[in-house]
Amino acid sequence: MARSFFGGVHPKDMKYLSCDAPITVFPTPKTVTIPMSQHIGAPCKPLVKVGDHVLLGQKIGDNQGLCVPVHASVSGTVKAIEDLPHTNGINMLAIVIENDFEDALDPSVSPRENVDSLSAEQLMDIIREAGIAGMGGATFPAHAKLSSGLQKVDTVIVNAAECEPYITADDRLMREMPEKIIKGLRVVMKIFGLSNAYIGMEDNKPEAAASLKKAIGDDITLCVLHTRYPQGAEKQMIQSITGRQVPPGGLPAAVGCAVFNCATCAAICDAVYDGLPLVRRVVTVTGRAIETPKNYLVPIGTSFRELIDSCGLKEAAYKVLSGGPMMGFTQYDLSVPVIKGTNAVTVFSQKDRVAEKNPHCIRCGRCVDTCPMNLMPLNLYKAERQNDTEALDKLHIMDCIECGCCAYGCPAGIPLVQSFRSAKQKLRNEQQKQKEAVK
Amino acid sequence: MSEVKTLSVSSSPHIRGKRTTRNIMLDVILALVPALVGGVVFFGWRALVLTLVSCAACVFFEWGYRKIMKLDCTVGDLSAIVTGILIAFVLPVSTPIWILIIGDAFAIIFVKQLFGGIGQNFMNPALAARAFLLISWPVALTNWTANKLVDAATSATPLAEGVSAESIKLLDLFLGKTGGCIGEVSAMLLLIGGLYLVIRRVISVRIPLSFIGTVALLAFVFPQNGCDRLYSMGFQGLSGGVMLAAIFMATDYVTSPVTHWGQILFGIGCGALTIFIRYFGSYPEGVSFAILLMNACVGIFDRIGRKKRFGEVKQKEGAAK
């Protein structure tokens, strides 16, 4: 049944560094920094003022439109509301809370008894109010994915591939709390009115697969797929499991699919059954420079510096990534906080430095062979260098998912992904210009 | 904010595969070694001298051109050495050294660097150099020295002799007991190199197989001078430069298609043109011109071979429903 996707690469997964470290609760930090924008869509507006006392789980920011609220991940006093460094590289509005170490719960956080009697609308409302956004990294609001997929979705897939090297947060979650993932998944199935679902994962996590196997019933199919990056990319996961291809520019719902990360499912379980909003998540702290790699259950808003300090450095940090090495973002300021989409903090040492090479394309075609979206990266690169936006459009630059397979395999060491990000912006600017010219 | 100065910031991905242009070229050089050893055994030490001089000259011209034009030095990628070896391989062992060096200069400066250096040339430098030398000094380029393992004092290449008598044993062609250029005579040694490149995933079998397959098929369907079909097939496939060209020249990354179907069409085109020139042209050997002509069509093949856009097929199916 399980098919495969196009292209892909086999980077060393390096998961052995942290995969045997059980999830441990991170000692609560002195302050947390909660950015108002932790999801795709409109940023939240703060609901509290400097000096206010907030409780753990209290809603402290919300907005209209495509948005999910943010919550206080500790109890304490609001110290500041200002623009602060964000993992996306720019300063964004955030609320800083000084921890009073009471962990006083907001009254809204209480277990629900009547889950079975709740309607789809009520469940989606609970999920929205709990601030759940996709925790695999893309941070798309979960309730929006659910409501836009109603009537269209016939296949629900839990993305448990975790194909990024180094990261083991989902692996540990599956090993230690499979029942949470399954409970969350059943909520999703109920909302869509479906009686079955798939879990897609890679065959390099046999312990997690065994653990899930015990927890699932006949209604859920566990698909153990070949380990190949980017197995966990949404479109590739759908292709591997159903054979369907999401149309260009379309959402998974266009082919009747909805994909949820396994951590998102666990968060849905917490929200629906325990009434606990998304205030903490599992983060893998790993990399060659880290003394003791760990999987931490971290309050949202904890700074990268505290996580790194707690695990210790055995070599000087050369690069700090939010996420894994294939798609992660480099950080230059370690005061950035863990947000809903942060699955790992990867710290590289000088030894991980990628050697500078001559960027002369030799047309070897490896990028063409490995591109999971069937693009022609070498031609896209040429078009970008020549600012040829027409060619970029014809070569479907917007289909690029920035997975990095092309640049990973490029013997010339051409920074292809960087080039394509800039190419997409150039095309957007050009299209904007044309629109304005028509007006 | 102390990290600002110490932490490196760059675009993803932050890890790279092991392959580099340099180690790919090194693999190609290694794959050419068996044929070079064969060249020395068949034609004497002069074969080695010519090859080394050719490499040195290619590296020198590449270094000199990049230096004079104030460009970055690309000698370290070893591609000039590959070109140097291949130029020597497609010349007879008796070629004067000054002609060889002119060929090297033509390949590196005119064919490669004037178009922008590695990756930018549209013709295979070694084959373009051979074509240039063959037109300029036809006598020197067709002066076939005897293969030391063949009894005859002087012998033309089997292709020049023709296949009338089925006089040449296919096994001799396979092993290299025949006249010809330095690196092209032994199909066996070239196949060993080709196998190494395929195992190391430097090249795929698409171009060599479609190239040699087309040559063999056409030779089988249209045997020359009424000789046996199977013999004709083996003879056309093993003689001349087909093996060297199909494994090492037509697979040159820069001047061959990158798409799978493009590569297959390219190989078929090379094979068909080779037979066409051999049968109807005035040159006994058509391999180099066949590849050079196909080099010019790479863009078309890549356009034909382009894979379907992700998601496009299913969209149409969905619309049909």
Å from B201 to nearest chain A CA? 10
The end-to-end CA distance of chain A, in Å, is 51
Residues of chain B with pLDDT under 50: 1, 152-154, 314-321
Work out the minimum CA distance from B237 to partner chain A, whole angstroms: 26
Q: What's the token pair of residue B76?
A: 């370290």
Q: How large is the average pLDDT for residues A214-235?
A: 93
Q: pLDDT for A154-170, tens place per residue?
A: 999 999 999 999 999 99
- Examine residue A12 and state whether it is found in any structural domain, yes or no: no
d(CA A313, CA A289): 6
- Inter-chain CB proximity A415 and B11 less than 8 Å: yes
Å between B212 CA and nearest CA of chain A: 21
**Contact at CB, B310 and A373, closer than 8 angstroms:** yes
Say how far apart CA A26 and CA B278 lie, in whole Å. Answer: 76
The whole-number pLDDT of residue B150 equals 65
- Identify the residue whose tokens are 């460009």: B71
Domains, chain B, with CATH or none? 21-303 (1.10.3430)
Q: Do B19 and A366 touch (CB under 8 A)?
A: yes
Give the residue from chain A lying closest to B252, CA to CA: A364
Record: contact B17-A408, CB cut-off 8 A = yes
A233 token code pair: 């990319």
Kindly state the tokens that stand for B291.
Answer: 């590849």
- Between chains, do B12 and A327 touch, taking CB under 8 Å as contact? yes
Sort out which chain A residues have CB atoms less than 8 A from B307's CB and list them.
6, 368, 374
Question: Are A343 and A316 contacting, i.e. CB atoms less than 8 angstroms apart?
Answer: no
Among B14, B254, B315, beta carbon nearest to A247:
B315
Measured in degrees and rounded to the nearest 5, phi and psi for residue A329 equal -105, 135
| Pair (A270, A370) in one structural domain | no
| pLDDT at residue B319, rounded to an integer | 42
Cβ <8 Å between B3 and A250: no
Chain A hits for B74, CB-CB cut-off 8 Å, are: 358, 360
Residues of B in contact with A165 (CB under 8 A): 15
Give how many domains chain A has, as a whole number.
2
Query: Domain for residue A218, yes or no?
Result: yes
How far apart are alpha carbons A2 and A108 in whole angstroms?
43
Last residue of a domain, one of A220, A248, A274: A274
Amino acid sitting at position A264:
T
Across the interface, whether the CB atoms of A399 and B14 are under 8 A apart is answered no
Bridge partners of B75?
A: none
Backbone phi, psi, residue A246, to 5°: -65, 125
Optimal mutation site among B2, B5, B16, interface A, most CBs of chain A within 10 A = B16
Write the residue in B3, B74, B309 that is nearest to A396 by C-beta: B309
Residue A144 resides in a domain: yes
Q: Is A71 domain-assigned? A: no
Of B9, B23, B74, the CB nearest to A330: B9
B215: burial class by Cβ within 10 Å (0-12, 13-18, 19+)? Answer: buried
Tens digits of per-residue pLDDT, A35-60? 999 999 999 999 999 999 999 999 99
Instruction: For residue A211, tell me if it sits in a domain.
Output: yes
Q: Best residue in A327, A331, A360, A374 to probe B by mutation, most B CBs within 10 Å?
A: A360
Dist. CA B74–CA B63, nearest whole Å: 7
Query: What pLDDT, on a 0 to 100 scale, did the predictor assign at position B162?
Result: 57
Q: How close does chain A come to B189, measured CA to CA in Å?
A: 24
With CA atoms as reference, the chain B residue closest to A239 would be B311
Confirm if B121 and B255 have CB atoms less than 8 A apart.
yes
Q: How far is B53 from chain A (nearest CA, A)?
A: 25
Q: Whole-angstrom Cα distance, residue A234 to residue A186?
A: 20
Can you read off the two tokens belonging to residue A33? 């920094």
CB contact under 8 A, A318 and B15: no
Region A322-349 average pLDDT: 95
Residue A42 in domain: no
Smallest Cβ distance to B13: which of A246, A254, A417? A417
A332, A354, A373 member nearest B16 (Cβ): A354
A328 occurs within a structural domain: no
Burial of B23 (0-12, 13-18, 19+ CB in 10 A): middle
Q: Nearest Cβ partner of A11 from B15, B258, B315?
A: B15
From the list A9, A245, A417, the residue facing B11 with the nearest CB is A417
Residue in B20, B79, B119 closest to A363 by CB: B119
CATH number of domain containing A239: 3.40.50.11540
d(CA B208, CA B189): 15
Tell me the residue range of the domain where A210 lies: 110-274
By Cβ distance, the residue of B7, B310, B315 closest to A331 is B7
CA of B159 to nearest chain A CA: how many angstroms apart?
33
Q: Looking at the domain assignment, is residue A189 inside a domain?
A: yes
Contact A248 B309 (CB under 8 A): yes
DSSP A395-433: TTGGG-----HHHHH-TT---HHHHHHHHHHHHHHHHHH
Kindly report the nearest CA distance between residue B251 and chain A, in angstroms: 10
Of A274, A293, A328, which residue sits at a domain end?
Answer: A274
Report chain A residues whose CB lies below 8 A from the CB of B200: none
pLDDT tens for B6-47 read 888 888 899 999 999 999 999 999 999 999 999 999 999 999
Q: What residue spans of chain B are helical by DSSP H? A: 3-6, 21-43, 45-68, 79-89, 97-105, 125-136, 138-141, 158-161, 170-175, 187-199, 206-221, 229-238, 242-244, 260-280, 287-295, 298-305, 312-320
As a whole number, mean pLDDT of residues A61-88 equals 95
Tell me how far the alpha carbon of residue A104 is from its chain's centroid: 29
Same domain, A142 and A263: yes
- Which alpha helices (DSSP H) does A177-327 contain, by range? 178-192, 206-215, 234-242, 262-269, 304-311
3-state helix, strand, coil in chain A (%, to 5): 35, 20, 45
Q: What is the mean pLDDT of residues A99-119?
A: 92
Q: Which of B9, B11, B203, B302 to mutate to test the interface with A (most CBs of A within 10 A)?
A: B11
Q: Does residue A385 share a domain with residue A250?
A: no
Cβ atoms of residues A339 and B17 within 8 Å: no
Q: Kindly report the pTM of this predicted structure.
A: 0.90
pLDDT of residue B156: 55
Boundary residue ending a domain (A224, A255, A274): A274
Residue of higher predicted confidence among A3 and A116: A116
The answer to whether A374 contacts B309, with C-beta atoms less than 8 Å apart, is yes
User: Using CB atoms, which residue from B3, B258, B306 is nearest to A378?
Assistant: B258
Torsion A394-A398-A400-A406 (CA) sign:
positive
The dihedral sign for the CA sequence A89, A91, A95, A98: positive
Residues of B in contact with A255 (CB under 8 A): 314, 318
CB contact under 8 A, B312 and A247: yes
For residue B290, the model assigns a pLDDT of 95
Asked if A413 and B16 come within 8 Å (Cβ–Cβ), the reply is: yes
A390 and A268 in one domain?
no
Residues A265 and A370 in one domain: no
Inter-chain contact B311–A318, Cβ cutoff 8 Å? Answer: no
Q: What is the β-pairing status of strands A70-71 and A53-54?
A: unpaired
Q: Which residues of A touch B15 (CB under 8 A)?
A: 11-12, 165, 325-326, 352, 354, 408
Please tell me whether residues A264 and A371 are part of one structural domain. Answer: no
CA–CA distance from A226 to each of A47, A187, B12 (Å)? 46, 28, 24
**DSSP readout, A93-155?**
EEEEEEE-S--PBPTT----S-GGG--HHHHHHHHHHTT-B-TTTT--BHHHHHHHHTTT--E
